[in-house]
Amino acid sequence: MSPTHPLWRPYEPPTQEEIQAARVVPRAPERVEVVPPDPGWTADYQRVREQVIAALGERVLALEHVGSTSVPDLWAKPLIDIDLTVADSGDEASYLPALDAAGFELRIREPDWEEHRLLGGHEPWTNLHVWSPGSAEPRRHVAFRDWLRGSEQDRRAYAELKRSLAEQGFTDVMDYNTAKGGFIYDVYERIFAADPAHPHTPRPRA
């Protein structure tokens, strides 16, 4: 069988049923906004990092600034995406009360997707993704971030796509994310093909 990169995932956009099932709280319609790159996003990440560490202490196994605000010179939603690794993301009682007390609200629960949890934060607006050790998705996020930091061509193409989609007036961020999915998959294919540590046979999306 042809080799496949260990972080490869098939191109399978989520269905509306899957999106709604994952939501812990209903989401009011709100137009998706994409803004020019802001040098202050790095400081915003540091503020949230300090909040999370203050809340959880040694329960924090890893924190990474990911998503578009972690890539200099990239247009993005004004929202800080952070990957948090704890001992067991499925064990909400071990971390959720402390994060709730620190102002983070559980919004998405996905037991079938590496026990992913998503918490929302304010001041600054934050998506705090919670994972367990060994989860593939945080490693994918870092690979995507690092690739965009080094590829001006893909960074510009991604910015143009996001600006174009924002102009379409999406009012649900999950629909907006789904519309980006094909481009993101194609970038991952380039990332995997360029990885000298793992052979990868191209898997073009249909």
> Where residue 95 sits, what CATH number does that domain have?
3.30.460.10
In which domain, by residue range, is 127 found?
18-193
Place of tokens 């803004």: 35
Question: Has residue 152 been placed in a domain?
Answer: yes
Question: Has residue 198 been placed in a domain?
Answer: no
Residue 70 is which amino acid?
S
pTM for the model:
0.96
Question: Has residue 8 been placed in a domain?
Answer: no
Distance, CA of 202 to CA of 189 (rounded, Å): 7
Question: Has residue 202 been placed in a domain?
Answer: no
Question: Has residue 6 been placed in a domain?
Answer: no
Residue 155 buriedness (CB in 10 A; 0-12 / 13-18 / 19+): buried
Question: Has residue 7 been placed in a domain?
Answer: no
Place of tokens 């909040």: 51
Question: Has residue 4 been placed in a domain?
Answer: no
Count of the separate structural domains present in the chain: 1
For residue 118, give Cα distances in angstroms to 12, 83, 84, 126, 158: 20, 9, 10, 10, 24
> CB within 8 A of 24, min separation 6: which ones?
106, 107, 108, 109
Distance, CA of 91 to CA of 47 (rounded, Å): 25
- pLDDT, residue 182, reads 98
DSSP-derived secondary structure for 50-90: HHHHHHHGGG--EEEEESGGGSTT--B-S-EEEEEE-S-TT
Q: pLDDT by residue for the chain (206 residues), tens digit each?
A: 789 999 999 999 999 999 999 999 888 899 999 999 999 999 999 999 999 999 999 999 999 999 999 999 999 999 999 999 999 999 999 999 999 999 999 999 999 999 999 999 998 999 999 999 999 999 999 999 999 999 999 999 999 999 999 999 999 999 999 999 999 999 999 999 999 999 999 999 98
Distance, CA of 93 to CA of 87 (rounded, Å): 12
Question: Has residue 5 been placed in a domain?
Answer: no
